[in-house]
Amino acid sequence: MLNRRSFIKSSIFAAGAASLGITEITYAATGASTRWALLSDTHIPADKKEVWRGFSMIDNLEALLPGVAESKPDGIGITGDVARLKGLTEDYAVVKEYVEKLAQTAPVHMALGNHDNFKNFNAAFPVTEGEKAPVKGKHVTVINSGPVRMIFLDSLQMTNNTAGLLGKAQRNWLDQYLKDSDKTPTLLFLHHSFGDSDGSLLDDIRFFRVITQHRHVKAVFYGHSHNYSFTKAEDLDLINLPSTAYAFGKKSSVGWVDATFTATGATLKLNATAGNKEQDGEVTEIKWRV
């Protein structure tokens, strides 16, 4: 029997937006490329002075704001754990403050992680006209940006419970959406990592069974592990984004990724603002599968 760890490691997998009730949002971008600032695991706390694992989440977030603004991105993406720990209303008040700061540079798009709260998030960010996909109880959005399409998924299963779950309804919606949509190169964004850990995405095998059969899905970006890394599932690129807030170990960078996407691939530059800065400025080129 194929377990979840061998599924990822060996990469052995089983082989019309309007009709799905979603209006796609198109952000300004040049036709040939689009530039995005990618953040993850911001863990923004209500108490701006809070320190965790020796890191100030707010100081680290403040440190990256000038760089993000200077990059002049077409959009900004955050792959979950936007709030500190339990997704409290007080946390989201501060989240909103910083989202508004980031939004002065470019539109901000967020996925939900295990430290977010669906109800409190939606109360803090009620205006998402035309963005949401019709998946009940999930925050799912679609964006067209220049040569690529981006889908932000919701892997929040239970607030402050480490494991994640997309769920059948979201997987079915994604499968049908990918069948009905045109073949624009599509990038998926979600919070949870993949593998055999009890804290990973619990339905990752079923998720990959859906997306590997749709060749226009080119890459998956995710967070959760606070570790910047690159792997593959078959020929599908998997990019694990670093946390902006704190590192789990001495080898991990804290920071954000300056990403330029084209129809054929991506250029990703790590901006390490704290933690291990040995890879600061490192550029990785990715060529999409065909």
Q: State residue 26's pLDDT score.
A: 53
CATH code of the domain covering residue 267:
3.60.21.10
Residue 93: domain span? 4-287
Q: Give the count of domains, the chain.
A: 1
Q: Is the pLDDT of residue 1 over 60?
A: no
Q: Among 149, 112, 121, which Cα is nearest to 17's?
A: 149
Q: Is the pLDDT of residue 251 over 90?
A: yes
* pLDDT band of 13, cuts 50, 70, 90: very low
* 60-108 residue pLDDT tens: 999 999 999 999 999 999 999 999 999 999 999 999 999 999 999 999 9
Q: Is the pLDDT of residue 20 over 60?
A: no
Counting residues of the chain whose pLDDT is more than 70, the rounded percentage is 88
* pLDDT band of 187, cuts 50, 70, 90: very high
The least confident of 10-14, 197-201, 223-227, 256-260 is 10-14
The residue-averaged pLDDT of 106-115 equals 96
Residue 258 pairs with which residues in a beta bridge? Answer: 37, 269
Q: State residue 132's pLDDT score.
A: 81
Q: Is the pLDDT of residue 273 over 50?
A: yes
The least confident of 29-38, 68-77, 181-190 is 29-38
The residue-averaged pLDDT of 17-46 equals 74
